[in-house]
Amino acid sequence: MQTAGGHEPARAVHHLVPSEHFDALASGRGGPDAVRLLRTTEYSRRLLLLRSLLDGAARTPGALGPLPSADSAWETLAAAQERAPEEFRELLLHPQVGVWLGHGLRRLRHTAWGDGPLWTDLGHLFAVCAVAALRAGLPLRTTVPVRDGDAMFPALGMARLPGRPRWATAEVVVAAGRLTVEPHRERAGPGPSGPEGDAPGWLGLRRLRARAAGHPVDVWLDDLDPYRELGEPLPPGRIAPDGTARWRAGFGRAFEVLEECDPETAAALAVGLRSLTPVPAPPSGLVRSASSGDAFGGLLCSPPPDPVTFAVTLVHEFQHLKLGALVHLLTLERDDGAARHHAPWRDDPRPLNGLLQGAYAFLGIADFRSRHLDRAPAAGRTFAEFELALVRRQTREAIATLSADPALTAHGRRFLAGMTARLPAGASDPRVRPGVDALAALAAADHRVEWR
């Protein structure tokens, strides 16, 4: 963001993807340095989206309703970026800020809808301004939207203002390192290092902690932010203290598994992962997880039953996040988007980009399963062998389908070659017993026949 000249055109930066990072990512890997590159490029993208949202709001009559002007938001954000660039960068890279930017722009362009007036979504801009000012140590007085009596401040917490209309506003003052809402509900601290506790009229965001490569891993456990999922804004879904304790224990144990099996992936996750949104478990009892290209660094997950499943879920969604960030930089396919391909793990046909995303996620899972197999306890060894054999077959089949599609670009074919090289050449693994491998082959064939 430029800090002078108002809305003059911003200087563009062209990012280059070094070959070593591209090839590492193509192989399903990509260590901390590759993830730092993706975070840098995603920051540029967020700046562009923020500028587009500000410009769109300024051009749209009534877009911000009773809230301040887009120009006032620009001035606050530019000053915060200049005063505390790293804090500003972390705030803009917060996954829920990315979801909000995407949703707000889609509302401006009439490709998404909300249950409230346009300003109730676009006005979240001023909550971002308040947090940016707090982190930068800048004084600010502004107005934020209130949704069902709640005002969310991203990467900080939620003020609760009962007795309000469904859509309302609240005055916010940032001064002397404190954020005050109308004026009796305060939150001390400059952001991530501040206290997590609740207080009358305030719910603080909680955190999950672990260690990777000798360094702490610090991730938001976000059950508050209306933009924590991938669709329309949601009310808060506060987890009980015992549930929070289970999430914290499970997260720590999952990272212990990753550290033991794959220290590089654990270190990469430590660099890139910023938030986990808990979601209800589906009736099937399987783990439900999701991620979005809008929300680099964030994932959604239902409670995993054990540390290995938790580790697999982290690997799975982080693969999606890495590929999502890469396709913001490079075009890997030029497809019409028609859902026509068989995905060996789904019952519905998939477009080319969906199959590529799935194959890339399963490539990461196959790599983890292979690394974990020799560490599997005796009681779970058969299941571990089956999972490895099945996921490799599924990934190999998907890669063969992708290879035959002419819509892949030159970059896409190079990427696919890296994926192919990562899989073992043979059809089976000597560590997998023949009977178990035969069951995996039967399961894969059964899925394809049923799909047809």
pLDDT digits (tens, 9 = 90+) for 178-209: 999 986 555 544 433 344 678 899 999 999 99
> 175 pairs with which residues across the strands?
178
Q: What is the pLDDT of residue 182?
A: 84
The two three-digit tokens of residue 358, written as one number: 């799935």
pLDDT digits (tens, 9 = 90+) for 216-250: 999 999 999 999 998 889 999 999 999 999 999 99
Q: Centre a 10 Å sphere on the Cβ of residue 241 and count the other Cβ atoms it contains.
A: 9
In whole angstroms, give the CA distance from residue 333 to residue 385: 34
The two three-digit tokens of residue 19, written as one number: 């070959």
pLDDT digits (tens, 9 = 90+) for 255-306: 999 999 999 999 999 999 999 999 999 998 899 999 999 999 999 999 999 9
Sequence-ordered list of residues with C-beta below 8 angstroms from that of 369, at least 6 positions apart, any chain: 312, 384, 387, 388, 391
Average pLDDT, integer, range 382-400: 96
Cβ-based burial of 40 (10 A; exposed 0-12, middle 13-18, buried ≥19): middle
